[in-house]
Structure 1
């Protein structure tokens, strides 16, 4: 029995920042990271405010989250270039939690999600995230994009209405009821913001389009005295102070009720951060530590909760911006948080004049990018099972709840996988296998004409699991006449589960009742280990094992010689 290697276990949680410092960190690296950090901070500034407003809270909360969580994710994470902060993926779940439970409920959910992420990292579950089915990811990502888009209609059109309903259908009904309150100035600023962002992306992609669009819209609204709602008119002045430890009342009595939301936040944070880290590895040629990244995400979310912030995770767009701007170490992400703090302290008085319609334009572009329309369209051309998973996850995300969508999507994907695996399993007699069948393996297949009288052979190919276990019991029903010896060739069975062993045990019992000897040949390592552990050899009746087909055939001849034909029942 191998001993637990504590130093090796702890090494997988070492922050990349320590690795970088051990390798040596000079002035040239600091200069490059400073430029990258400043670039990312310019991109993150409008996003942090827009995401916070869309989530149902204030711009200051978004900035505080980007500063505190962004710093912790870079300082403790397992990626050299990951940039963390609030992201659009959290908007639907955060909006609902705030509406139903207030900021205290959100803080409790974020705190629990952070602890879940730390536990997942310590349990080394980071590698499991790669098994998330792509149709599920594409489905809920597109669904979130639609939810973000629908949440911005009020500010984009300047509708005069109260709180925007959380439910998708009720939200659009409210929009229709208040369509007559449309503010032309807000619509003009939204169109101007969209034109600026999309135009700069086309002709000046290296420029900070979000920030420039916000600045132009703010100047236009002030110079023309447009009657458009601004950050200041709705939220008042932004505090030009450091993030402070101050918590509202946390409804600990609703812990059980908030667990699904906490799980959803943890799931989204884990998946999005690791996907972002994988993409960053492809851009830089590096290799992240997935479990260290999960622990860092958990600590960052706990830290964000303790200052009354939003959930946070690795942000793909900001991480890609960091890499393109020359960032190569975690110092860039830490400096990005520092620059955001500096912007907040210096520019807070000016941010009150930013039109909410301009921030809505920013999030409309974010929603479009998040939708991944081309990926969605490609998945619709996939096999029927993937299409069902995609559409079910998408519509459940939009119409019901992200937690339900993920659960149903994963279960559907698992069912589709099981059906495919069951279809891939082959069970046929030797007479059905042509002589030149490449699937026969090195042994080759003996045809019925070469088998001793009274011997029947079946070949099983593929995983023998619960999805196909019932087919084992039907083997005897398909035989033209009752044999005296049945050989199961299992050389091409890579894995077997408890249901498969139970099916073999039931087959052995049925063979015993009919007076048929059962021989199993060619077991691979995993099936051999499982069958031995579950003591199939002690099943009722005669069950024999052979290393390959030739010894199995020799054993069959010996059994036939030992038992005359009239001895068989």
Structure 2
């Protein structure tokens, strides 16, 4: 461990700071771990187990100095849906498979690819998750009875409406006290552990003034055992893998995104840099091991990581100390957790949902009124009303289509003619709509890929139909050519050469040139027909022109075509006119 560069320069002073930070984060993590587990449809101790195991493993094996891992609010809709549809045992299998996926993502260095996921998609499903978490706590906030958890959002809302007559005023009072504390304490005493106080004070009030009037963890789940979790390897079959691979992929996908976003936030706060692929490997190991002890899927927690940094953490030891502190708390105080009212946890989760909704970013993207806005709204609505799996798939697809559409509009093809002042080709060119039966020049700007290949072929096929002898493609600003672009260019070259034409290319970049060489198109065009500078290409083209035709041509593609004799006056050149 000490050979890890994240521990380099470790001192006793750093260890002391890490210990304080670990305890501080542990105090925050305990109520959140239980709350997230309950909201995910499993027993509260499973959230505690996840906090302990994942927290320690990610600290040891991850790629960030400050990352705090554990159960997070982002997973709640996914995990609840899996529990409702497949059951708790299959949730463990899905988490185990997600860990393997994360492990492979790290090994194959896919950490950087996750950074390319559009912000409109991440904000869309994050806001959708926030809505699901917030509304999912209405029942506990008001102490509603007889509510049956459903998979779909509108079904859950109908359940709340139908059962609202069972409102428990004691639960509502308890929740309001907790909510008031979460709002007021940061203003009065910002150093106080808000969530723990907001959990304990309502619990004490309920125990003293109206015991047995509201539902508690003990009444709902039988209390939390003060013992270490036992090892249990889930029964994994091929049928289960087939049924669970999509939920597992979504867990891995979301876990990878949130973990790397958390690591990026930590980098911004500290000036350090994380190792993205190593972070994925650490998250993968944590999610493989945690289900073996009954824990639910885990990821990097942005708020707890930020708390860790603000508390003075220096190395990953703080994450290890956090896990150990939560473990000791479990062993010593677990029986007392049975007295905690579910109503006191509801405002904690509601505040978490509000904070993760990123309402300002949502409104900002919405104001753009472009493709990103559509992606945002569709992803958000699908997350809320269908499920996160479909939302992510459709959101990414729409984002890709929107991106291709924008990129296709970036391809610009214009006809040029050189302005010539002497017998040497000038460096100045201008756009024209005139024609020369012997020589056409086109400048191509933008990526030549599958989204623009059709436009490229359609535009230049017109040039072929006019049958000039020489076609010069100026490709200085073509940054990219893919297989589709190369294919359409190849078709153009073949058709033009079949008619006896000559293709010249100038200014082509390294990537497009390598593609042409790999495909053999470079050699079909001819190495002597590919030029670095357009002036050289124009001079070469002039040497191939039929001088007699130029002398007698009436097309006047160039302004000076009818005014000079190319055979007798080599010092004059073509001049373009608008």
Mark yes or no: TM-score above 0.5. Answer: yes
Q: Determine the structure 2 residue equivalent to 1:445.
A: 429
Matches within 5 A, 1:325-336: 325-336=311-322
Q: Matches of 1:160 and 1:257 in 2, distance apart?
A: 33
Which segment drifts farther, 183-192 or 363-372? 183-192
Q: Matches of 2:530 and 2:254 in 1, distance apart?
A: 48
Q: Determine the structure 2 residue equivalent to 1:497.
A: 482
Larger radius of gyration: 2
Q: Determine the structure 2 residue equivalent to 1:264.
A: 250
- State the 1:247 CA deviation: 4.7
Asked if 1:461 corresponds to 2:413, the answer is no
Q: Matches of 1:56 and 1:284 in 2, distance apart?
A: 36
Q: Matches of 1:140 and 1:540 in 2, distance apart?
A: 49
1:173 aligned residue (132, 153, 158): 158
- State the 1:455 CA deviation: 1.2
Q: Matches of 2:27 and 2:548 in 1, distance apart?
A: 87
Q: Matches of 2:419 and 2:228 in 1, distance apart?
A: 77
Q: Determine the structure 1 residue equivalent to 2:544.
A: 559
Q: Matches of 1:485 and 1:245 in 2, distance apart?
A: 76
Matches within 5 A, 1:528-539: 528-537=513-522
What secondary structure, in the 3-state scheme, does the structure 2 residue paired with 1:246 have?
coil
Mapped contact 1:104–1:251 kept (Cα < 8 A): no
Q: Deviations over 1:332-389 (max 9, x none)?
A: 1100001101111111121111110111111000000010101111111235111011
2:102 aligned residue (104, 113, 117): 117
What secondary structure, in the 3-state scheme, does the structure 1 residue paired with 2:248 have?
helix
Q: Matches of 1:449 and 1:248 in 2, distance apart?
A: 72
Q: Please give the TM-score of this superposition, normalised by the length of structure 1.
A: 0.91
Q: Matches of 2:348 and 2:524 in 1, distance apart?
A: 68
Q: Please give the TM-score of this superposition, normalised by the length of structure 2.
A: 0.89
Q: Matches of 2:331 and 2:419 in 1, distance apart?
A: 79
What secondary structure, in the 3-state scheme, does the structure 1 residue paired with 2:42 have?
coil
Q: Determine the structure 1 residue equivalent to 2:556.
A: none
Q: Matches of 1:563 and 1:115 in 2, distance apart?
A: 73
- State the 1:192 CA deviation: 1.2
2:126 aligned residue (129, 137, 141): 141
Matches within 5 A, 1:24-423: 24-226=9-211, 227-247=213-233, 249-250=235-236, 253-423=239-409
Asked if 1:470 corresponds to 2:454, the answer is yes
- Using a 3 Å threshold, how does the CA distance of structure 1 residues 449 and 221 change in structure 2: closer, same or farther? closer
Q: Deviations over 1:132-183 (max 9, x none)?
A: 1111111111011011112112111111114311210111111111111111
Mapped contact 2:503–2:525 kept (Cα < 8 A): no
Q: Deviations over 1:78-128 (max 9, x none)?
A: 111111100011111111111111111111111111111111111111121
5+ residue gaps, structure 2:
421-425, 553-578
The count of aligned residue pairs is 545
Mapped contact 2:436–2:468 kept (Cα < 8 A): no
Mapped contact 1:78–1:289 kept (Cα < 8 A): yes
Q: Matches of 1:466 and 1:129 in 2, distance apart?
A: 23
Asked if 1:487 corresponds to 2:444, the answer is no
What secondary structure, in the 3-state scheme, does the structure 1 residue paired with 2:504 have?
strand
- State the 1:544 CA deviation: 3.5
Q: Matches of 1:385 and 1:420 in 2, distance apart?
A: 9
What secondary structure, in the 3-state scheme, does the structure 1 residue paired with 2:284 have?
helix
Mapped contact 1:121–1:295 kept (Cα < 8 A): yes
Q: Deviations over 1:407-453 (max 9, x none)?
A: 1111111111111111111111116x999xxxxxx944256699976
Q: Matches of 1:458 and 1:268 in 2, distance apart?
A: 46
Mapped contact 2:55–2:319 kept (Cα < 8 A): yes
- State the 1:498 CA deviation: 1.1
- State the 1:311 CA deviation: 0.2
Q: Matches of 1:263 and 1:447 in 2, distance apart?
A: 51
Q: Matches of 1:563 and 1:551 in 2, distance apart?
A: 23
Mapped contact 1:16–1:330 kept (Cα < 8 A): no
Q: Matches of 1:422 and 1:148 in 2, distance apart?
A: 39
- State the 1:246 CA deviation: 2.8
- State the 1:20 CA deviation: 4.4
Q: Matches of 2:186 and 2:438 in 1, distance apart?
A: 76
Which segment drifts farther, 173-182 or 55-64? 173-182
Q: Determine the structure 1 residue equivalent to 2:557.
A: none
Mapped contact 1:273–1:315 kept (Cα < 8 A): yes
- State the 1:19 CA deviation: 2.2
- Using a 3 Å threshold, how does the CA distance of structure 1 residues 151 and 327 change in structure 2: closer, same or farther? same
Q: Matches of 1:211 and 1:537 in 2, distance apart?
A: 69
Mapped contact 1:508–1:541 kept (Cα < 8 A): no
- Using a 3 Å threshold, how does the CA distance of structure 1 residues 540 and 131 change in structure 2: closer, same or farther? closer
- Using a 3 Å threshold, how does the CA distance of structure 1 residues 323 and 434 change in structure 2: closer, same or farther? farther
Q: Determine the structure 2 residue equivalent to 1:12.
A: none
- Using a 3 Å threshold, how does the CA distance of structure 1 residues 526 and 457 change in structure 2: closer, same or farther? same
Q: Deviations over 1:527-561 (max 9, x none)?
A: 11101111124659999322221222123223323
What secondary structure, in the 3-state scheme, does the structure 2 residue paired with 1:475 have?
helix
- Using a 3 Å threshold, how does the CA distance of structure 1 residues 291 and 16 change in structure 2: closer, same or farther? farther
Q: Determine the structure 2 residue equivalent to 1:425.
A: 411
- Using a 3 Å threshold, how does the CA distance of structure 1 residues 447 and 196 change in structure 2: closer, same or farther? closer
Q: Matches of 1:443 and 1:263 in 2, distance apart?
A: 55
